[in-house]
């Protein structure tokens, strides 16, 4: 599989190698060792979530505060989605930057979202289904929400919507990124980098033990 960095540091786009034949298609969606070797992030799923959405449903932007923090490996298993990752780590050189990726079930493209980043998506087809592999289990009270139409983020949702967006009241009333930063809810870039470095060292130790 191809694993490429994006404009948001510590977010990666994964493109699997498709193996079609007369019966259909096969591809490897996630390989722990390949992801760790390419990114330095040791990602071991602890929980798997799915959600289905009607066309024009917008979910996000969401993140998980430290502790526990949460990394996600996101793919579309039915239909098509526009996936969005935003760097919301105060102190990051890319703070406020976003990256978009079309996730199509037929292509198997996925996105890895490291701890500290925010994530959201809009459904481009009816009955679109998204899969989240999560590095931590759900802990009530740790999720934070950011207003998806925050003008400072300028996420181009409108380019992909063909009608009024469908949002939950929670997402619609979510605070802006600046408001969350003032409240001290967000995880700082240095704190996140320390976590990533611990993961890198753990991966290297595991590699040495296997030799």
DSSP codes of every residue in 127-167: TEEEEEEESS---TT-EEE--TT-TTT---GGGT-SS--B-
Please identify which of the residues 41, 62, 98, 119 carries the catalytic annotation. Answer: 62
74 vs 204: which has the higher pLDDT: 74
Tokens of residue 7, six digits:
């404009």
**Which has the closest alpha carbon to 44: 207, 199, 204, 210?**
199
CA atoms within 13 A on the CB side of 5: 8
Please identify which of the residues 41, 95, 119, 132 carries the catalytic annotation. Answer: 132
The confidence band for 206, taking pLDDT boundaries of 50, 70 and 90, is confident
Q: Quick check: 209 pLDDT over 90?
A: no
Note whether 152 and 96 are within 8 A (CB): yes
Topology given in CATH for the domain delimited by 2-202? Jelly Rolls (2.60.120)
pLDDT score at 56: 98
Q: Quick check: 18 pLDDT over 80?
A: yes
Tokens of residue 42, six digits:
């040791």
pLDDT score at 25: 87
Which string of DSSP letters, residue by residue, matches 12-38? EEEEPPP--BTTB-------HHHHHHH
Residue range 164-184: mean pLDDT, rounded:
96
CA separation for the pair 29, 48 (Å, rounded) = 14
CA separation for the pair 125, 56 (Å, rounded) = 8
pLDDT score at 33: 92
CA distances from 111 to 94, 141, 145, 162 (A): 18, 25, 20, 24
Q: Quick check: 24 pLDDT over 90?
A: no
Q: Quick check: 211 pLDDT over 80?
A: no
Is there a catalytic annotation at residue 132? yes
Q: Encode 132-151: b = buried (16+ Cβ within 10 Å), e = exposed.
A: bbbbbeeeeeeebbbbbbbe
Residue range 105-123: mean pLDDT, rounded:
97
Residue range 117-140: mean pLDDT, rounded:
97
CA separation for the pair 151, 63 (Å, rounded) = 19
pLDDT score at 140: 95
Cross-strand pairs, 119: 62, 85
Which string of DSSP letters, residue by residue, matches 168-191? -HHHHTPPPHHHHHHHT-SPPHHH
Q: Quick check: 146 pLDDT over 90?
A: yes
């Amino acid at each position: 599989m191809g694993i490429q960095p994006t404009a948001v540091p510590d977010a990666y786009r994964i493109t699997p190698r498709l193996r079609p034949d007369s019966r259909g298609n096969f591809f490897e969606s996630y390989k722990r060792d390949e992801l760790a070797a390419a990114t330095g992030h040791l990602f071991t799923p602890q929980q798997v979530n799915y959600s289905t959405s009607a066309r024009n449903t917008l979910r996000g932007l969401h993140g998980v505060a430290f502790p526990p923090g949460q990394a996600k490996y996101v793919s579309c298993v039915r239909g098509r989605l526009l996936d969005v990752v935003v760097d919301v780590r105060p102190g990051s050189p890319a703070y406020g930057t976003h990256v978009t990726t079309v996730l199509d079930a037929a292509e198997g493209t996925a996105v890895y979202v490291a701890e500290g980043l925010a994530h959201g998506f809009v459904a481009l087809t009816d009955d679109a289904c998204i899969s989240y592999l999560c590095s931590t289990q759900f802990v009530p009270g740790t999720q934070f929400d950011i207003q998806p139409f925050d003008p400072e983020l300028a996420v181009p949702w409108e380019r992909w919507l063909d009608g009024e967006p469908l949002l939950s009241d929670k997402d619609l009333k979510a605070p802006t990124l600046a408001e969350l930063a003032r409240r001290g809810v967000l995880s700082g870039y240095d704190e996140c980098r320390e976590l990533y470095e611990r993961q890198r060292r753990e991966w290297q130790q595991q590699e040495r033990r296997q030799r």
